[in-house]
Amino acid sequence: MSPNITQSWVLALVPEIGLVILLAAVLLYDRLVKPEERRRVGLLTAWGAFAILVTTLGLWLATGEPNNATDIGTSLMWGGMIRFDLIALVFHVIFLVALMLTALLSLDVEHLQKGEYYALLITAAIGFSLMGASADLIMLYVALETASISSYILAGFATKDPRSSEAGMKYFIYGAFATGVMLYGMSLLYGLTGQTNLYILGSIFGGFQQIPTEVNAVVILSAVMIMVGFGFKISAVPFHFWTPDVYEGSPTPFTGYVSTASKAAGFAVFLRVFTTGVLGEPSDASMWWAMLIAITVITMTLGNFVAIFQKNFKRLLAYSSIAQAGYALIGLVTLSPDGSSATMYYLLMYIFTNIAAFGVITIVSNRIGSDELEDFSGLSRRSPYLALVMMFALLSLSGIPPTAGFFGKFFLFRSAVNAGLWWLALLGILNAFVALYYYLSAVKYMYLYRSENEDDPIPVSRGAKVGLAFSLFFIFYLGIFAGPIFEWTRTAADAFFVLAR
């Protein structure tokens, strides 16, 4: 008996199929290309990701699938393993854009001009895409590990650099530990119900008026364990210890990738699992909800306050990215369509903003061989455009209009106020002021401080220029015309809450 494979089943997997073809093409092309033209492998990856992005969006516009019909029966595909809805589409766009920009910015880094590097970036993207679409615990686990294992190798990819090896090792140890704990929690959920599909699990637990006490204890235990795994992925606070070390030691373009795409994938599964109602309704009495709010508050605050004291640019952005995860969690804890869509919007704008910032660090440190903050002194005289891109990226991270970060934060805080969590929004705003301090002090290094080699300009290749210009364009586009994109994520977010009432 073979399942009846329909057109939408295939449509659901278009990005993944495209990425697998691209993977094969990259590995093959790497063997064929002359050693002095190695750079072209990266260009192939970037063009391929762009082509897949255009195809995915084109097919969506042409066929109207996935649409905002939120019926579970028609949107679950491939035996319930993945769900083909607008959420999956939003996250596919996020990951493909991240892959394209990362490939463009990796082009000129000598030790990354290898086919394996790009192949691993693509494998990680396949894992992320499937995470964004997965509707089943088994699929979720396999997708998450596909992404994680590729990321461990990428973090340790610069084997000649002891810092990179150490980053890979640390990422691996923390990551394997966190996924082990998460998996144990998932096995408990499976044991309770005999089911692995998120939506079936959600309807089972949602069917109870009050989950029986002895069952509830196991549910809470597995919720905590699953939160360890997801919290690791998004670098939320008690599970953030790997973040600064891995961000500092990894090859810089990959740092940009892991801080945006990997985080977005973590949020994708976090939202998918916690909005199905696997854990019951959020209420003041439910322990997992209180825990999630505590994590949100601590993540924002600790990230921002520790970032103030950083002397290394990549470490500063690492703590900043912990804080950004805290802001994005605000949308998650409201557990409303508004909040989830605000989180998705935030992740989308975060891709452009953070990859632009790490792109500038890549180009500068590729030239000067350092990523300490004080070595960025006088950047505005060495390369005014790089300094400008960096300044707008930092302003967007701190949420100043007219950059994308402003609306990102605005939608998040609005959803918190609408959900009655006005104090959480207030904390977020206070945190944004703290963040402004250290972002502006980084700007100060670039614009006000002088250095002795100011007449030594920093060359920027055309690929990197295109990547940075693309990011900068969207930093402003999402900051000025936020409405249509937010509407898009808002429509998508309805699909999260199909089981609620």
Partner 1 sequence: MIPLSWYLLVAAALFSIGLYGVLARRNAVAILMGVELMLNAVNINLVAFWRYGRFPEQPVGLAWAVFVLTVAAAEAAVGLALIISIYRHRDSVVAEEMDTLKN
Q: Do 328 and 346 form a contact (C-beta atoms < 8 A)? A: yes
When the beta carbons of 305 and 477 are compared against partner 1, the nearer one is: 305
When the beta carbons of 137 and 344 are compared against partner 1, the nearer one is: 137
In angstroms, give the least distance from the CB of 187 to partner 1: 4
In angstroms, give the least distance from the CB of 14 to partner 1: 24
When the beta carbons of 187 and 203 are compared against partner 1, the nearer one is: 187
Tokens 């070595």: give the residue.
Answer: 375
In angstroms, give the least distance from the CB of 208 to partner 1: 17
Residue 224: CB atoms within 10 A of its CB come to 15
Q: Do 258 and 248 form a contact (C-beta atoms < 8 A)? A: no
When the beta carbons of 76 and 167 are compared against partner 1, the nearer one is: 167
In angstroms, give the least distance from the CB of 447 to partner 1: 26
Calpha distance 425→238 (Å, rounded) = 21
Read off the DSSP letter of residue 314: H
When the beta carbons of 55 and 165 are compared against partner 1, the nearer one is: 165
In angstroms, give the least distance from the CB of 145 to partner 1: 5
When the beta carbons of 166 and 281 are compared against partner 1, the nearer one is: 166
Q: Do 245 and 166 form a contact (C-beta atoms < 8 A)? A: yes
In angstroms, give the least distance from the CB of 174 to partner 1: 10
When the beta carbons of 191 and 401 are compared against partner 1, the nearer one is: 191
| Contact footprint for partner 1 (CB under 8 A) | 137-138, 141-142, 145, 149, 152-153, 156, 159, 162-163, 165-170, 172-173, 176-177, 180-181, 183-184, 187-188, 190-191, 194-196, 244-245, 248-249, 309-310, 315
In angstroms, give the least distance from the CB of 68 to partner 1: 31
Give the tokens for residue 27. Answer: 């590995």
Tokens 């996924």: give the residue.
Answer: 179
Residue 449: CB atoms within 10 A of its CB come to 14
- How open is the CA angle 327-445-165, to the nearest 5 degrees? 65
Interacting residues of 350 by C-beta distance below 8 A, sequence separation 6+: 260, 263, 264, 324, 328, 408
Cα 126 to Cα 21, 144, 200, 438, 449, distances in angstroms: 11, 10, 25, 35, 43
Q: Do 96 and 53 form a contact (C-beta atoms < 8 A)? A: yes
CA-based nearest residue to 499, from 273, 167, 164, 257: 273
When the beta carbons of 145 and 375 are compared against partner 1, the nearer one is: 145
Calpha distance 382→364 (Å, rounded) = 10
Expressed in angstroms, the distance from the first to the final Cα of the chain is 36
When the beta carbons of 174 and 445 are compared against partner 1, the nearer one is: 174
CA 334, chain centre distance (Å): 20
